Amino acid sequence: MHGTARLKQQQKKKSAKSFWLKQLHSWHWISSAISLIGLLLFAFTGITLNHAADVEGSPQTIEKSATLPNDLRKLIAPDDAADAKKPLPALVAAWVEKTTGQRGGGEAEWSADEIYLALPRPGGDGWVSIDRNDGTVTSEATSRGWVSYLNDLHKGRNTGTVWKWFIDIFSVACFLFALTGLLLLQLHAKKRPSTWPLVAIGLALPAVLAIIFIH
């Protein structure tokens, strides 16, 4: 009887371990699949950011100028209102986008004589200025190249809310990938004696480098 009970207990323990091992493998490959492309992107841009001065491209700037039609000029005519931040009228925004090739949406800075629309974006910059008196529109768009674009994606610079959400979700996937990998190492460590020494090296190396070389 005691042998039978012990056997059942061992089978139960083995079944539980098998269940959790299967779950860990599932979460590990799912999280790795979700984060794979993002990891490649962030690993690559980690190198380009670390050598930004060596791979920096030459900025290219495009300037344009035009004049608002009379019917649209009425929509932004000077007034006595205090300086404020508000969007361009829809018709003016559509005309600006069509004429300058830059977005006309977003919050613009309205002063007594001028409307200034800042248009920062990953890998570049831009702005549109509108004279409220004579309707003169001036725009400038600067591009710093695709490496700068990818670097800004890495930093989340001027990327908007959707990309920030992506970074958060990607970070959770990477965390799960690393955590399930660590737990799988724990389960297989007995058969692989070098597991924990390698983990210790991975922990100690950046710590030692930071303490000795970063001041």
DSSP bridge pairs for 117: 128
Does the pLDDT value for residue 5 go beyond 60?
Answer: no
Does the pLDDT value for residue 11 go beyond 70?
Answer: no
Beta strands across the sheet bearing 124-131: 60-67, 136-143, 124-131, 114-118, 107-110, 84-87
Mean pLDDT calculated for residue range 176-188: 86
Instruction: Please write the tens of the pLDDT for every residue from 75-85.
Output: 999 988 889 99
Question: pTM of the prediction?
Answer: 0.77
Confidence of residue 12 (pLDDT cuts 50, 70, 90): low
Say what the pLDDT of residue 192 is. Answer: 84
Q: What amino acid is encoded at 117 in this protein?
A: L
Residue 11 CB-half CA count within 13 A: 6
Share of the chain above pLDDT 70, in %: 93
Say what the pLDDT of residue 191 is. Answer: 83
Say what the pLDDT of residue 194 is. Answer: 87
Confidence of residue 92 (pLDDT cuts 50, 70, 90): very high
**Spatial distance between the Cα atoms of 80 and 110, rounded to a whole number of angstroms:** 11
Both structure tokens of 155: 């930093």
Say what the pLDDT of residue 112 is. Answer: 92
Say what the pLDDT of residue 108 is. Answer: 95
Say what the pLDDT of residue 6 is. Answer: 61
Residues 6+ apart with CB under 8 A from 78: 112, 113, 132, 133
* Higher-confidence position of 149 and 19: 149
Mean pLDDT calculated for residue range 173-196: 86
